[in-house]
Amino acid sequence: MNVTKRLILASQSPRRLALLRQIGLQVEVIPSCVREDFDPTVSPEVNAKSLAHAKAIDVGRNIEEAIIIGADTIVEVDSILLPKPATPSDAVRMLEMLSGRTHTVHTGFALLDRPSNKYVTGTESTRVTFRSIPPAEIEEYVAGGSPMDKAGAYGIQDDYGAVFVSHIDGCFYNVVGFPLSKFYTTLQQFQSQLMKVQGC
């Protein structure tokens, strides 16, 4: 895909950056300062989309011309939202909740055009089932530090994170942190709409 503008990722996630580069996109990184606070009155999908949009707006304020990419991932189990763990003990608690059960990973993304401020948002949801995880494995995984920057306290691409998962239903890349297929088609459509507006 020929992208006509700068692409800026409003996230410091190395996983999202790697995924975007995997599909051939040249992306700059300018992390957003938006706090990842959830609104309990709306669905996880709406929370994820709203946070992704807010992150794109936050970064876009200081950009004259580009397409800003915002994203947010939320893990949900029993209608409880699991963000990034605050402490190692919080990570242990989350992994104990997920052990032997099925949860849902929701990722919201936003594309914001500057200077027009036109935008589009999207979400993807994937169901993930964990095997029963012995406490010693949870403790060892948390002690390695990997869960601390990940929603739900695990990464499916990690060493232990990979073997926690027995199966998934939906987009694998969404669980890593970014729904590549849906994002790619959305970016194509968004860029086409922008070019029509500009008379190209």
Convert the pLDDT of each residue in 74-121 to its tens digit. 999 999 999 899 999 999 999 999 999 999 999 999 999 999 999 999
Catalytic residue among 37, 39, 58, 72: 72
Share of the chain above pLDDT 90, in %: 82
Query: Does the pLDDT value for residue 191 go beyond 70?
Result: yes
| Whole-angstrom distance, CA of residue 50 vs CA of residue 62 | 20
Convert the pLDDT of each residue in 48-66 to its tens digit. 999 999 999 999 999 999 9
Q: What is the pLDDT of residue 198?
A: 67
Q: What is the pLDDT of residue 83?
A: 87
Mean pLDDT over each residue of the chain, to the nearest integer:
93
DSSP H stretches of helix in the chain: 14-22, 44-60, 88-98, 135-143, 159-164, 172-176, 180-197
Residue range 7-197 forms a domain whose CATH class is: alpha beta
Convert the pLDDT of each residue in 19-50 to its tens digit. 999 999 999 999 999 988 889 899 999 999 99
Output the pTM of the full model.
Answer: 0.91
Residue 152 is given by DSSP the state G
Domains of the chain, by residue range, sit at 7-197
Query: Phi, psi (5° rounding) for residue 49?
Result: -65, -45
Q: Is 72 among the residues known to form the active site?
A: yes
**Sorting pLDDT into bands at 50, 70 and 90, what band is 181?**
very high
Query: Does the pLDDT value for residue 200 go beyond 70?
Result: no
